[in-house]
Structure formats: structure tokens, C-alpha cells
Structure 1
Amino acid sequence: MNFKLHTFNGVQYALPEPLTPVKVLGSGTFGLVIRATSPHYETPVAIKIIRDTLGTAKEKANAFREIDILKTVRHQNIILIQDSFIFGQNVYIQTESLDSDLKMVLDSELIISEPNMLKMMKQIVSAVAYLHGICIMNRDLKPANILVDISTFHVKLCDFGSARLFPMRSRPNSPLATSPPHPVPCFPDELLEIPFDDAFSLKVPTSELILPKPVLEPFPSELTREIETLWYRAPEILFGERMYTVSVDLWALGCVLVEIALRKPLFAGDTDQEQMTLILHAFKLNYLPQTDWDFLSSYFRNACRTDLNDVLVGKGLKMRMGIDFLDVVLRFLQFIPSERLSAVNALEFRLFRHE
């Protein structure tokens, strides 16, 4: 494979021939994302260049884990990987490319009808339900990581650099009582077919549908706290909890759905402390320095029991989107992680059965 050097803002990068760069879609500490054309593909592709990832075992593992996850998932609302390769110390991930991302769409003047809002919302929830069904935690759900075809409002989740497999809950007398080496559906017995639009169906356990609380236990080891853009971080992460569950995705999901409706973030703090304060005030709690998650969650569970209904109604969401929308997002945005609505259960709510 022959590579050709290109330059962006004084930084050189290489692309394999015959890929031709069109524009830079994004850049950060990880590297670059380039839109490119190729005679081998009818439509443009996206190339994520993860710089200097082969220097340490941890960096190498993170890059290869993202590739493995992308090769594992198959869903109409998740970006499709086309190729991956190494050049020097850089790892390249080639995927399909869409017109825009949700952040750009929401920041634009593009008029989005309520049916198209609901169409995007349902697709995002479907993708998260699928990921959780095969034991994958996204950990970085935000509008910038949701690609949009603006002609059809078809969306696809992208960027799985923070994603991670999570273990199944141990079950007595189960041959899969320990965490499997590969992502498989949780609770492989008691499976039920749940339709995801016309083109896809996902096997989900019956127990996941009937239990009011998530059935997933915390990780057996600590996870990094520096995940998810600040505005979409769950309260437990902000307050230092390192044994969290897929519920962090559900909080982020609620924030994203509200942002689609409002076209602005629900909680937009500039610092961790400001973000904590905004969330606590919304739940009618005061911010106290040095408050840890165990104390706060225990106090909330036993003494507080408020929700975000007044805040969301005050922002006009009930009038704008209706009671069915409010019902779903309030269940995602529960302060206590175990009380958040699962994505697969959300698809059974009336909001997503109108289509």
C-alpha cells in the first residue's frame, strides 16, 4: 500500500493511494478525521487518523479495541467500517461518511419538523439499545458523534474510541456466568425478538423488558472518569464514581433528545463544578464542595426524590413536544442511575410508536 503525504494546519498526514482528501471533518488530541474520495467507492469516505497510538500498550489497545468494536457492530444507525490499516505510528480507520453531524445541524438554520425530530430520536435510541444488547457501552454519546444525512434525516452513531465491552451479570447455573471474551447478547436464554424498523431486528432478553431497573451491574474494576463531553456527563461521573454502568449512556441519551428539541444543550457548564451545580439546582439540591457520590446518591434516594419535570416544562418542552416526549426524557434523566429507563424499553413507549 502506497501512502502520499498531505498537510493540514502545518501538520503532515499520509493517506493511502488512491484516496484523495476533500476536507478535514475534525481534529483533536487524538489526530484528524478526513473526508476523502476513492475510485473504489461511489460516495466519499471518512478516514480517522489516530496519531502516535503504537507508542504504548495502552494506546495500542485503545485503538485496536475501537476497530474490533466497529467490526463487531452491524446496525443501520451505526457507522459502517470499511477498512483499517497502520502507517508508521498511526492507526487509520476508514468508514462511510455522511453529510453532517447532529451538532452542526442543530447549530444551523435548518428547519427540522417535529416528525423528523422524532425520526432522529428513535434512530438514536435504537442504536443505543442495540449496543447495550450486545454488551457495548458507548461512553461518548453527544451530537458531534451522531452523523446525519440531511436529505433524509437518517442518523448514524460514530466515534467508538471511548466505547467498551461490559460484562454480563452473573447468573446461577448459567454456562455464561462469567464475562465472555467477545460481545454477545446479555442473558442469552429467554430471548425475545424486538423489531428495529424494517431493516433490522435485535434479540433482547425478556427479563430486560420486564424489569423496571437496568439489570447490569457496575464494572468489577474502575473506569476512567474523563469520558463524555462535559454537557452530557452523568451525575455519578461528575461526582467521581468510578464503578458506573451503561446508565451513563442513558443520561447522555436524555440530554441529546432534549437538545434536539430545544436546539441547545440542557446543561451547559464550563467547568465540572458549574456542571454539577446546574444539575443539582435542577433537582432542587445545593452544591456542596467535597460531596462524594455515595453520600449524594444516598441522600437523594432517601430524602429528596425530585425530578426534572419543572425544569423541562419551564423550557417549553411539554408545549413543544408533548407529554409523551416529556415522559421518556424524564425517565432517562433520573438522578439515580439504576432508575433510568433502558433504551430498549424506551422503544416500547408511545412516543416512538407513533410512526
Structure 2
Amino acid sequence: MESTKTAMEAFEKLEKVGEGTYGKVYRARERATGRIIALKKTKLHEDDEGVPPTTLREISILRMLSRDPHVVNNQIEMPLTKSNRLLDVKQGVNKDGKTVLYLVFEYMETDLKKFIRSFRQTGENIQPNVVKCLMYQLCKGVAFCHAHGVLHRDLKPHNLLMDKKTLILKIADLGLARAFTLPIKKYTHEILTLWYRAPEVLLGATHYSTAVDMWSVGCIFAELVTKTALFAGDSELQQLLHIFRLLGTPNEEIWPGVSKLKDWHEYPQWKPKPISTCVPNLDEDGLNLLSQMLEYEPSKRISAKKAMEHPYFDDLDKTHL
């Protein structure tokens, strides 16, 4: 890893494009090539001996996911992983004497949240073939992560980067990702984004797996079609009630073991409605796939790999996806 001086000589910061728990993200230019990149600056705690395990975990996951073979499409080299590539890591010391890491990523001009918002503002719908193209890439990226033992755990439109011209979509922000082993470790659920959070997590399940990502994928699918979040709760209880109102209140018959989950209570009883009532612009194959992503019982929820084989995608040209 190089010094901060070398890192800052190598890149010219252009603008801050984001800030979160893990640090600031800048759009920057690589001086040697003129290439635009995303620079993620992460401070390391002074009392840590070396790089904190959480940062090492993120870097190792990103490096592993960036090693996949590449395909070339429209002169853009892109990994089959559909995850935002980690190009380089640089380490140094800031003016306060604290260790700083710079993670260098490929730069994507927008994200799915902004893309959806732009259609909401114009009042237009996102074309069905565009929804299909983006969803296939999302399933492919999630399938790749899962095949390599990685859960994302925070999939949401904001974390899906894309190029509007080519419609290339890539999964970003694997900062919360966990490599999972069998048996599945216990995970805390506070960090997951509420609107895309799976019901088992909302109900306090501590052992969960790839199905949590697929619930999020389903919520994103519906949002691409309607331009509105499917379940927009402002608390964990409200989030559950939004889900129950559409899909029906679960019980032991529908979802064996649900009443044994830590945060289960007696809830108002709703009967399930057809998903088409909330997602009216989706065709029959799309509704079938969405319903399989929003299965209550995690073991019955469709996997990302199986989702890619669903008839909904049969008429999509997958040559460059």
C-alpha cells in the first residue's frame, strides 16, 4: 500500500458524491490516465493494531468478487460479477496522524434510486424491457455473490450503480456483506435498510441466509415497475404491517416456525391480496417471479440462480449481460 501523498498525487478529487458510516466517497480523476474513478476514503481507528478486521473483510470480499473473468461490451470492460470493481487500495496518514485507506473503484454515473426518481418526475413508466434487463443483471450479480459465499444484506436501489446509456447495472456497497459458512452465523438485524428488509429479519431471526437478499431483490423489482417502494414502513412494526396487508398475516401453516421467532406477537389478521393490486403494470410471468421472491418461508423463496432461469427472462437477449 502506498503513502497518502502518493495516493493524493495519483488522483485529483473532483466532488464528494456520498458519505456514510464507512467514510466519504469522491468522484476523482486518475492523473496518469485521465480515467474517472470513485475514491472511498475510510479512516481507521487509532487504537486498532493495523487495519480493522471489518475493513480487511470488506477489501477481501471486494477483491474476491473482482477476480471474475471479464467480458467486453460496447468497449466497456465489465466483470460478470456485476459488482462494482475494486481497482486498487492505498494507505496513508492524514494531517491528524490517523491512518487512512483509499479504496479505488470504477466510477458509475448514477444509481437505481436516481434512475427511478427521474421517471417519477417525468411521469413516464420505465419500459418493461428495461426493467427486465436491469432485473436480470441484479439476479446475476446476487447469484455470483451467493455462489461465492457472500451475503450482501443491504440491497436497495441506492446501492445499485448503473450506466444510463448502456443499462449496465452493478452491485455496490458490499461494506456490510458477510462471507457465510455453514452453519449460518448469528447476525444482528439493525443495520439492514427497513423498506427492503426480509420479514424473518424484522421478526428477530438471528440465523438467516441468502433468502434475505432475494426478498430485497423482489422489493426492488416491484419498485422498478411502479416507481414507488412496495413496503415503505417508518418503523419495524409498520414495515411488518405493510407486508401483512398485502401478503396476508403469516401463520404456522403458511410459514412453519414463524410464531417461534423472537419478535413474533399477535398481529391483526389480513387475508392475502393478489400482488397485481400493488404492481398492476407487470405481466403474468413477472408477477409469478415476484411472488416467488416474496415467499414468506425463506427456504421456499426463489434463489438468484433459479430466478435467472425463470420464463420472465426468456425473451431477453442475454448475450452481453
TM-score range, shorter chain: 0.7 to 0.9
Aligned to 2:74: none
2:176 to 158, 162, 173: 162
Q: 1:53 to 1:338 in 2, by over 3 A?
A: farther
Q: 1:97 to 1:280 in 2, by over 3 A?
A: same
In structure 1, what is the Cα distance between the partners aligned to 2:271 and 2:91? 48
CA contact (8 A) 2:26 2:39 kept: yes
Aligned to 2:196: 232
1:249 to 198, 210, 213: 213
Aligned to 1:91: 101
Q: 1:286 to 1:78 in 2, by over 3 A?
A: closer
**Among the aligned pairs, what percent are the same residue?**
29
* Number of aligned residue pairs: 282
1:135 to 149, 156, 163: 149
CA contact (8 A) 2:111 2:160 kept: yes
Q: 1:266 to 1:84 in 2, by over 3 A?
A: same
Aligned to 1:349: 310
Q: 1:130 to 1:137 in 2, by over 3 A?
A: same
- Matched to 1:29, the amino acid is T
In structure 2, what is the Cα distance between the partners aligned to 1:58 and 1:264? 44
Residue-by-residue CA offset, 1:255-299 (whole Å, 9 max, x unaligned): 111111111111011111211221122232299xxxxx741679x
Give the alignment of 1:124-203 within 5 angstroms: 124-168=138-182
In structure 2, what is the Cα distance between the partners aligned to 1:20 and 1:2? 15
CA contact (8 A) 1:232 1:251 kept: yes
Residue-by-residue CA offset, 1:333-353 (whole Å, 9 max, x unaligned): 011111100110111111112
Aligned to 1:314: 277
TM-score between the two structures when normalised by the length of structure 1: 0.73
Give the alignment of 1:212-231 within 5 angstroms: 219=184, 221-231=185-195
* Deviation at residue 18 of structure 1 after TM alignment: 2.9
Aligned to 1:26: 18
Q: 1:57 to 1:229 in 2, by over 3 A?
A: farther
Q: Is 277-286 or 264-273 further displaced after alignment?
A: 277-286
Q: Is 46-55 or 149-158 further displaced after alignment?
A: 46-55
Aligned to 1:60: 52
CA contact (8 A) 1:309 1:330 kept: no
In structure 2, what is the Cα distance between the partners aligned to 1:18 and 1:345? 43
Q: Kindly indicate whether residue 248 of structure 2 is the aligned counterpart of residue 284 of structure 1.
A: yes
Q: 1:297 to 1:36 in 2, by over 3 A?
A: same
In structure 2, what is the Cα distance between the partners aligned to 1:22 and 1:51? 20
Q: 1:226 to 1:122 in 2, by over 3 A?
A: same
In structure 2, what is the Cα distance between the partners aligned to 1:57 and 1:339? 44
CA contact (8 A) 1:53 1:90 kept: no
Q: Which has the higher contact order (CA 8 A, sep 6+)?
A: 2
Residue-by-residue CA offset, 1:111-159 (whole Å, 9 max, x unaligned): 5322111111100001111111111111111111100101111101011
* Deviation at residue 17 of structure 1 after TM alignment: 1.4
Residue-by-residue CA offset, 1:67-89 (whole Å, 9 max, x unaligned): 11111013331111111122333
Q: 1:309 to 1:121 in 2, by over 3 A?
A: farther
In structure 1, what is the Cα distance between the partners aligned to 2:175 and 2:45? 12
Q: 1:24 to 1:161 in 2, by over 3 A?
A: same
In structure 2, what is the Cα distance between the partners aligned to 1:331 and 1:161? 27
Give the alignment of 1:104-115 within 5 angstroms: 104-109=114-119, 112-115=126-129
TM-score between the two structures when normalised by the length of structure 2: 0.80
* Deviation at residue 28 of structure 1 after TM alignment: 2.0
- Matched to 2:306, the amino acid is N
Q: Which runs of 5+ in 1 are unaligned?
A: 5-13, 169-217, 288-292, 301-305
